Amino acid sequence: MIIDTAPGIDHNVLYLNSAVENIQVIVTPDPSSLADSYALIKVLNSQYKEDRFSVICNQVQDEAEALQLFKRLSDVAEKFLCVSLNYTGFIPQDLILRRATKSQQLVVKSNPGAPSAQAFRDIAKKYVSNQPVGNLKGGMQFFWEQLIVPKAVGE
C-alpha cells in the first residue's frame, strides 16, 4: 500500500510517514522542494528515530539531473544527519504526464509509451522485486500488516 501525504511536516504527515515500512521522499529540482524534503527527513529522524529513506526525483530532465538532485539532498543529509538515503528512481518532466494529470487520467493507461509512464513502471518493478525492508517497528506497522497481509487458510 502506498500512502501519499501532503508536502511539509504537518503532524498527520509525520505520523503517517512514521507508520510505514518504507518512507519514500519525492523531491523536485525546485529549491523549496529540496528544503522541504530535507526538513521532513530531519524531523522524522530527530522526533521519530527514522533513519532510512528512499528518494524519487520528480520533474527532472533526465537521470543525470535526477542523480545530481539526489546527490545534493544526500550530501546535506550525510553532513548533518545520521540517515541512509537510497535512490529509487526518477520521473522525467513530461508534457504527456501533465496533460494526463489535468484530465484526471493515469498516464500509464492513457499513454503507456510516455517517458513518465515508463519511469513509473521502472519504479514499480523495484517495489515488486524488493523484499521487506526489515522488522516492523511496531504500532501502526503492526496494524497495516494485519490489515493487508492475507492470512494462510486455516489460521
Q: CA dihedral defined by 106, 108, 62, 66, rounded to 10 degrees?
A: 70
* CATH code where residue 23 lies: 3.40.50.300
pLDDT in the model for residue 132 = 55
pLDDT in the model for residue 142 = 47
73 and 37 Cβ atoms separated by less than 8 Å? yes
Total tally of structural domains belonging to the chain: 1
pLDDT in the model for residue 11 = 86
Q: Determine, yes or no, domain membership for 148.
A: no
Domain encompassing residue 65: 1-93
Q: Which portions of the chain are predicted below pLDDT 70?
A: 1-2, 130-155
Q: Determine, yes or no, domain membership for 10.
A: yes
Helix axes 63-80, 31-48, angle to 10 degrees: 40
CA distance 67 to 92: 12
Q: Determine, yes or no, domain membership for 121.
A: no
